[in-house]
Amino acid sequence: MDTAVTSSPAFPRVHIATDHAGMELSAHLVSHLTAKGYDVVDHGPKEYDALDDYPPFCINAALAVVADQQAGTHALGIVLGGSGNGEQIAANKVKGVRAALAWNHSTATLAREHNDANVVAVGGRQHTVEEATELIEAFLAEPFSNDERHVRRIGKIAAYESTGEVIE
């Protein structure tokens, strides 16, 4: 990853990973988002393998999102699979990641607006390339609302993640 390049506020650095079922969509998104001005980092896989294990790809993308954010770089992530479920679960195992499965425009934008999700999961077998691209673009473009209730709720999730304590 080229750490000398920093993303602009309008265009976050985007870390992307997939399994074999999302490779076509991933290749499209890397090209499409790069052409739009995003700094896209592809965490793989590099070649098709129907028996691949997606967790390392998705975890590495999620780790990179958190590392960038901790370094002050505006970064978001995309994890793709057949359904997006396993990829979301893998990404959510990384401390500091809030990965959301998006299946329509509303879930994509609300993930950012209300939950400040920093990774989006999309099922490549659930949408056309055009539909999935629209979901990803909606997610990337939507800002977090910074509404006090959402900040408070995210804080409670982060506290549990760090301490194991459930805050009422």
Catalytic residues: 87, 114
Q: How far apart are CA 129 and CA 123, in angstroms?
A: 10
Distances (CA, A) of 69 to 7, 32, 83, 96: 11, 23, 27, 9
Q: Give start and end residues of each alpha helix (H) in the chain.
A: 23-36, 55-70, 85-92, 105-113, 129-141, 148-163
Torsion angle in degrees (nearest 10) through CA of 149, 154, 156, 161: 180
Helix axes 23-36, 129-141, angle to 10 degrees: 50
Nearest CA to 123 out of 25, 9, 46, 35 is that of 25
> Rounded to whole angstroms, how far apart are CA atoms 53 and 55?
6
CB 52 within 8 A of CB 81: no
